[in-house]
Copies of this chain bind each other. A is one copy, B any other.
Amino acid sequence: MERAAFLRELKRVLPEEALLSDPEDLRPFECDALAAYTVLPWIAVLPETVEQVRAVLRLCHSQNVPVVARGAGTGLSGGALPVADGVLLSLAKFDRILEIDPANRMARVQPGVRNLAISEAAAPFGLYYAPDPSSQVACTIGGNVAENSGGVHCLKYGLTVHNVLQVSLLTVEGEPLTLGSLGLDGPSYDLLALINGSEGLLGVIVEVVVKLLPVPETARTLLAAFSSIEAAGDAVAGVIGAGLVPAGLEMMDNLTLRATENFVHAGYPVDAAAVVLCEMDGMAEQVEAEIARARRVLESHGATEVREARDEAERRKFWAGRKAAFPAVGRIAPDYYCIDGTIPRKRLAEVLGRIGELSEQFGLAVGNVFHAGDGNLHPLILYDASHPGELERAEALGEEILTLCVEVGGTVTGEHGVGIEKLGPMCVQFGAPELRQFHALKAAFDAGGLLNPGKAVPTLMRCAELGRMHVHGGRLPHPELERF
Contact = CB atoms under 8 A, between A and B. Distances in A.
Interface string A386-425: 0000000000000000000100011111110110001000
Interface string A368-380: 0000001110000
Interface residues of A, number: 84
Contacts of A443: 444
A187 B405 contact: no
A358 to B, nearest CB: 19
Nearest to A190: B193
Nearest to A180: B411
Interface stretch (A136-144, A271-279, A280-288): A280-288
A429 interface: yes
Contacts of A456: 187-188
A468 B407 CA distance: 51
Given A188-B438, A286-B285, A413-B187, A194 B193 contact: yes
Interface string A431-460: 101101110111111000000000011000
A429 B374 CA distance: 36
A176 interface: yes
Given A161-B190, A187-B429, A182 B410 contact: yes
Contact of A159 (B185, B194, B289, B431): B185
Contacts of A285: 285-286, 288-289
A481 interface: no
23 contacts: A104-B344, A104-B409, A159-B185, A175-B433, A177-B434, A178-B431, A178-B434, A181-B411, A183-B376, A184-B342, A184-B375, A185-B342, A187-B197, A187-B456, A189-B442, A190-B194, A214-B241, A216-B243, A284-B289, A285-B285, A285-B286, A289-B289, A437-B444
